């Protein structure tokens, strides 16, 4: 059942609208548990689009096994998606920096407030993000340390490769997830893939985890697949690698592999002179969970993140 969560008028008789699809069991949703699946806060984050499509398709094909309410919000920033831009075009706003919003503020802060109101009270929310066009991330859950006790059991069931606890940079006070967790609605942030891409295998992996969580909560009574046990890591176990020169990055490793301390990660090359400006070596052993996707770099650009000492 398609519903409009919030809207406001634009020029030329057009509207900005945020919509959701509410899936209900055949006996109705009164008194049932509820889960919210949200994506598209940034217009260039498309990995969650396939997840929304496939989640709705699978539930509709096995509706007798649904025992709760599933609210799917496929695109919170529809203007950004239409304009192929991360931020809200014209307004030049990062939507994930205006929550919880306010009814008497700008139109998009009003929209943000309506989104919070609509999701608030759900038994769980999953906020799906991609990386940007510059970096590629393996499927991961990011939670703040103060929410660890409440969220970690859910995070471990999402079938992601690891859970990053304490990554405050990804869960800012102005974000959707922070606003929901602050008001008592548990919200997990999933990050996977790269901007402007859909990685079907990542989507399938996350879908298995979503159905497992729905089963745990009592929303899904059907068969679920096996979910993997993720590595759980804190900020202190993550090594950031930045380049020191500008140029084009040519990787010497693959994404999500184990590397040794001192191993060659890649080179920064100069396409004008045919020279290698910088050779980059790993300062630590571990797993490469973030790797540069867009090859053109400036001095100081992030090249990789390495996860070490997980537990």
Residue 278 is inside which H or E element, if any? strand 275-281
Q: How many helices (H) and strands (E) does the chain have?
A: 6, 17
255: exposed, middle or buried (C-beta count within 10 Å: 0-12, 13-18, 19+)?
middle
Residues 206 and 159: beta-carbon distance below 8 Å: yes
Between 168 and 95, whose confidence is greater?
95
Confidence of residue 170 (pLDDT cuts 50, 70, 90): low
71 forms beta bridges with 22, 36
C-alpha distances (whole Å) from 274 to each of 80, 252, 265, 268, 271 are 38, 18, 19, 11, 5
DSSP string spanning 153-192?
Answer: HHHTTS--SEEEET-TTTS-TTSHHHHHHHTT--EEEEEE
pLDDT tens digits, 68-121: 999 999 999 999 999 999 999 988 999 999 999 997 788 999 999 999 999 999
- Give the dihedral of Cα atoms 215, 220, 221, 224; nearest 10 deg: -60
pLDDT tens digits, 177-213: 999 999 999 999 999 999 999 999 999 999 999 999 9
pTM: 0.95
């Amino acid at each position: 059942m398609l519903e409009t969560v919030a809207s406001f008028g634009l020029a030329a008789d057009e509207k900005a609208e945020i919509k959701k699809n509410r899936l209900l069991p055949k006996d109705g949703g009164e008194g049932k548990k509820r889960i919210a699946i949200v994506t598209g806060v940034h217009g260039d984050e498309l990995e969650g689009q396939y997840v929304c499509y496939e989640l709705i398709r699978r539930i509709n094909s096995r509706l007798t096994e649904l025992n709760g309410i599933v609210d799917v919000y496929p695109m919170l920033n529809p203007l950004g998606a239409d304009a192929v831009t991360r931020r809200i075009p014209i307004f030049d706003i990062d939507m994930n920096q205006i929550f919880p919003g306010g009814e008497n503020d700008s139109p998009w802060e009003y929209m943000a407030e309506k989104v919070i109101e609509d999701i608030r009270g759900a038994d769980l929310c999953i906020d799906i993000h991609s990386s940007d066009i510059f970096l590629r991330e393996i499927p991961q859950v990011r939670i703040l340390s103060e929410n660890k006790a409440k969220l970690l059991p859910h995070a471990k069931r999402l079938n992601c490769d690891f859970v990053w606890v304490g990554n405050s940079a990804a869960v800012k006070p102005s974000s959707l997830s922070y606003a929901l967790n602050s008001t008592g609605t548990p919200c997990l942030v999933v990050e996977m893939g790269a901007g402007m891409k859909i990685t079907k295998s990542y989507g399938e992996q996350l879908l298995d985890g979503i159905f497992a969580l729905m089963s745990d909560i009592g929303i899904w009574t059907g068969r679920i697949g096996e979910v993997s046990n993720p590595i759980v890591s804190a900020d202190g176990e993550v090594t950031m690698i930045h380049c020191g020169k500008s140029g084009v990055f040519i990787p010497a490793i693959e994404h999500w592999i184990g590397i040794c301390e001192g191993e060659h990660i890649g080179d920064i090359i100069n396409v004008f002179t045919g020279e290698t400006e910088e050779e980059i070596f790993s300062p630590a052993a571990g797993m490469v969970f973030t790797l540069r996707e867009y090859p053109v770099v400036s001095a100081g650009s992030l090249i990789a993140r390495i996860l070490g000492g997980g537990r």
